[in-house]
Structure 1
């Protein structure tokens, strides 16, 4: 940093959705996971470094974002809907799948999903695509810090866990219409970047490394634990959403049960630095204008968690509402 020079640039690779699954449409009848032979650009919004044993790792929250430029008379937007790619005949003659080509023409399949018009261009037909790249990895990845090799990816965990425990807000988003409820935007983000993991933080509780990830649009917080050992295989513990689906945004805000919409940042406070001796998670919600303080609990009371008994979940300590939503 002192010399303002780069040592190296490491591409983070792509994620293949032929192995993991995703819900790629808001017009497919609800929550519907499918495998597609397409790729995802990880494009992390947040990264964090941690030590596990004697090895350093980097964990990324793979939100995704298309390139958009608006400057003077220049306007450029990298993203195209699948059906636009189909209508504009932008697939090369070497595009590998006729079935996939047809899926781009239908909204319930891949017609509304956003793709890059810059990645996957065919070298023999530079203006056309032979591979399809959607934006974001809809999850979390862990890389070795010394060579940026991928050691773990959450696959479709985040999307599936939210579908399982909070299906009423699945791939939804905050909309600043005070008379609407969170369920009014159900499935809305499936055509774009799904849960959009935005921020993360890493802490230690006992001999475990704990990874907290938040989803931008719903404000859900996911907890993974990583036991001491050579294997880098985080275990899903629980997911927490602090909102009320039965209340309008205005009602939930006034009741301080709006959750943490657009959680731009999180911070972990270990027990030995916490004012009450319990590990804390601090979450800043940008759109909700909130700062929430959660206790990281190690017993089961009302946790929404995996099918096994969770070791960790969040208990709300306090929420500070900083803005007022007016009707």
Structure 2
């Protein structure tokens, strides 16, 4: 031990002498401890008043999508013990807000048209005085907006959802806004129409009535590389991720995400809300990953995309794919005990799709599928699965907060805890912390992903019930009003912002 202490001391002395000779300051050691505790809660409004939040480090303001009031609500958190509500930005003249992002005094707001199948807008405001700086026309239903790390580009995922009667289904698209010359390039997916069969064979879904691939894709969320050259876009309903070249302004690839096997031991689920128990079991069912939020991270010079595998069905008046498994007719050669499988205490209550499982179109299902994967996944930059959390979310919540498990067991038949959002805290390039928001459990789970192939669960953040965390935001200690890392959680159901501090 003494020898080791002498070696460490000698190393520190050498570094100090070197810094004195070069004139460089001695950087303090990075605090890599993780212990997030509730700091404060801000009431924004009622249900729908708090969906996505962005932070301006200069003014110390939070800008929050408030669907209830059709505005961007603003709270100054210079003093976290006494946040101040400021004048909001009303959007009645434009449409409905879906997403916000901030960079260098600019607030970007994604606004869907009053008729959401029409073209939407990205509005850019000044964070200092709320003045409108510019507006850009983008694709139908811009659902998520973000700045590139260098601040030169805004990217929006334009979902292009159909009308309720499914007679108007605009193309999904991605818009790239060049802030240096104020040009907008909107990319569609028509170039991939002739690849539909190949993509579907690898687990990509194209299933809307009378829709080709370009109409069927619904871009959901955007993650951008640290060099600002590449974007990844989740295609939730289609079960894929698209890779975008921001330099050439082109879509390079679509990566089908395939399916998750719930018959494997580490992938066990609770599939029923009517079995009177909270118990994880294995079933001959495949989960459809269907990522909602995604986030980019670079660890040891390797790029990764992390997805929250919420799942989402299409359920419209004009077309619905959603049924329960007891509505299916199973192929008796594959499921000889079909009645046992479809009992409500087994798989009968589990939500499934009419668009998969009957490969020979004989009306009998040979494979069973369910929405989402009840997990988070780590993917390579080229769409290969590096790690999936399996049943970790269910296992940890059941062990530590059994009353919250699958929303009191009420969502076991649907998508479980519904991992909705993900965010990363980079602690000095030494430790990487992942936050996973669980919409139905009203919780945030915390993992150490420094080793991306073997993440470690750290803690559960639970403040109060009926919150439904929709958006997660990290405020780095260098920008934080308290000088400590903050996690900002936007809660859709409670209309609140919950802030946790790393102590």
Determine whether 1:215 maps to 2:458: no
1:140-197 Cα distance to aligned partner (Å, 9 max, x none): 001001x21000000001011111111112211xxxxxxxxxxxxx210001111000
Q: Give the aligned partner of residue 12 of structure 2.
A: none
Q: Secondary structure at the match of 2:412?
A: helix
RMSD between superposed Cα atoms in Å: 1.7
Helix, strand or coil for the counterpart of 1:159? Answer: helix
* 1:249-278 alpha-carbon deviations (Å, 9 max, x no partner): xxxxxxxxx57x121111011222212121
User: 1:29: which partner in 2?
Assistant: 276
1:112 to partner: Cα distance: 0.5
Give the one of 252, 262, 266 matched to 1:17.
Answer: 262
Aligned length: 255
SS of the aligned residue for 1:33 comes to coil
Alignment partner for residue 327 of structure 2, among 80, 84, 97? 84
Q: 1:116 to 1:144 in 2, by over 3 A?
A: same
Output one character per residue of 1:16-69: Cα deviation in whole Å (capped at 9) or x when no partner. 000110001111122111001110001111111111111110000011111122
Equivalents in 1 of 2:455, 2:303: separation in Å? 15
Stretch moving more, 147-156 or 264-273: 264-273
Corresponding residue for residue 136 of structure 1: 372
Q: Of the two, which has the highest radius of gyration?
A: 2
Q: Is the 8 A contact 1:66 1:78 kept in 2?
A: yes
Give, in angstroms, the shift of residue 126 of structure 1.
Answer: 5.1
Task: Write the distance in 2 (CA, Å) between the matches of 1:199 and 1:103.
Answer: 36
Which of 212, 230, 236 aligns to 2:457? It is: 236
Q: Evaluate the alpha carbon distance shift between residue 126 and residue 268 of structure 1 in structure 2; reply closer, same or farther with a 3 A threshold.
A: farther
How far, CA to CA, are the matches of 2:423 and 2:340 in structure 1? 38
- Aligned twin of 1:97: 335
Q: Does residue 1:58 correspond to 2:312, yes or no? A: no
* Aligned equivalent of 2:482: 276
SS of the residue corresponding to residue 158 of structure 1 reads helix
Matches within 5 A, 1:288-307: 288-297=494-503
Q: Name the counterpart of 2:399.
A: 164
In structure 2, the partner of 1:320 is: none
* Pairwise CA distance, 1:98: 1.9
SS of the residue 2:411 aligns to: helix
CA shift digits 1:296-322 (9 cap, x unpaired) = 24xxxxxxxxxxxxxxxxxxxxxxxxx
SS of residue matched to 1:107: coil
Instruction: Describe the superposition over 1:191-211 as per-residue Cα deviations: whole angstroms up to 9, x where unpaired.
Output: 111100011111112411111
Separation in 2, partners of 1:31, 1:152? 26
Aligned to 2:348: 111
* Stretches of structure 1 lacking an aligned partner (at least 5 in a row): 173-185, 244-257, 298-327
Deviations 1:108-139 (A, max 9, x none): 101101111101222x3354321111001001
Residue deviations 1:226-268 (CA, integer Å, cap 9, x gap): 22x6x5211111112111xxxxxxxxxxxxxx57x12111101
Cα distance between partner residues in 2 of 1:3 and 1:80: 35
Q: CA deviation at 1:217?
A: 1.4
CA distance in 2, matches of 1:138, 1:202: 19
Match for residue 316 of structure 2? 69
SS of residue paired to 1:188: coil
- The answer as to whether partners of 1:49 and 1:59 remain within 8 angstroms in 2 is yes
Question: 5+ unaligned residues in a row in structure 2: which ranges?
Answer: 1-175, 177-184, 188-249
Aligned partner of 1:202 in structure 2 is 424
Higher strand share: 2
Q: Does the CA-based 8 Å contact 1:92-1:125 persist in structure 2?
A: no
Deviation at 1:93, TM superposition (A): 5.5
Q: Deviations over 1:47-92 (max 9, x none)?
A: 111111111100000111111223xxx2x2212111111xxx2x23
Q: Which residue of 2 aligns with 1:313?
A: none
